Amino acid sequence: MLGGMDEHVRAAELVAAEEKAELLFAEVTRRGLVAAGVRESVVSDRVRDLGAELFGIERHWHKRVVRAGPNTLAPYQENPPDRVIEDDDIVFLDFGPLLERWEADFGRTYVLGDDPAKLAIAAALPRLWADGRAHFEAHPDITGAELYAHVGELAREAGWEFGNSHAGHLVGEFPHELVDGAKIESYIAPENTNPMRRTDRNGAQCHWILEIHIVDRDRGFGGFHEQLLTLR
């Protein structure tokens, strides 16, 4: 338990937070908020406002990310210049809404035109995510470093480069950085040799987000997909 909270209750709250994030993204698609001729920052603000309208979301626990075209090559920690989305762009969104005190983290990729290479990368993302999750499920003692290596190999086998220095992180009560003492232990990263299935220093079960960021540097674009690795 964490502060007297049953793990089943905690898990249910995290799942409920992700379900709302998923509904938010579905409404983004339905309303056509990702559109050509609009700046990335404007799309970000529109999604923020929609989250407030639908679910009363007032804060996001990490910066809101909307990347289009060549900006989709940039990993999360970079801040490329704000760009106007073009007719044939590939675009990804990465939002971390706070639903009460529970973190969600959700990312999806959109293709505005009919470029076959962009459509292929967008279609591959959920498959690679599912393959990464299957590997996690099949290896009870897997470490963060081992899962990172595996998803990187999956990307290479599919013909792309893995685009980030990590493949996900802990998620939980805000702020999740306080769940674990050492920062690298909170990430699915090459330096994290700890088992992912463990409890934190407060005795709470660790739950994870899996992120897939793949890039085609020759063509100058990438794609992104993320959601809960555990619980769903």
Q: How many CB atoms are located within 10 Å of the residue 148 CB?
A: 23
Domain boundaries, the chain: 7-228
pLDDT score at 2 = 43
pLDDT score at 175 = 61
Three-state DSSP class for 10? Answer: helix
Tokens encoding 36: 């050509």
pTM: 0.93
CA count, 13 A, side-chain hemisphere, 3: 4
pLDDT score at 181 = 45
Give the Cα separation of 221 and 223 in Å (integer).
7
pLDDT score at 172 = 85
Helix (H) or strand (E) holding 228: strand 221-228
Tell me which CATH homologous superfamily contains domain 7-228: Creatinase/methionine aminopeptidase superfamily (3.90.230.10)
pLDDT score at 111 = 98
> Could you write out the DSSP letters of every residue in 98-147?
EETTEE--EEEEEE-S--HHHHHHHHHHHHHHHHHHHHHHH-TT-BHHHH
pLDDT score at 176 = 60
Q: What is the mean pLDDT of each run of 10 residues along the chain (232 residues)?
A: 69 94 97 98 97 93 95 96 98 92 94 98 98 98 98 98 96 63 83 94 90 98 97 82
Region for residue 213 given its phi and psi (left: phi exceeds 0; alpha: psi -120 to 50; beta: otherwise): beta
pLDDT score at 3 = 46
Closest CA to 227 of 162, 168, 164: 168
Helix pair angle (7-31, 40-55), 10° resolution? 130
Closest CA to 162 of 105, 211, 199: 211
pLDDT score at 101 = 85
Cα-based angle 225, 228, 232 (whole degrees, multiple of 5): 120
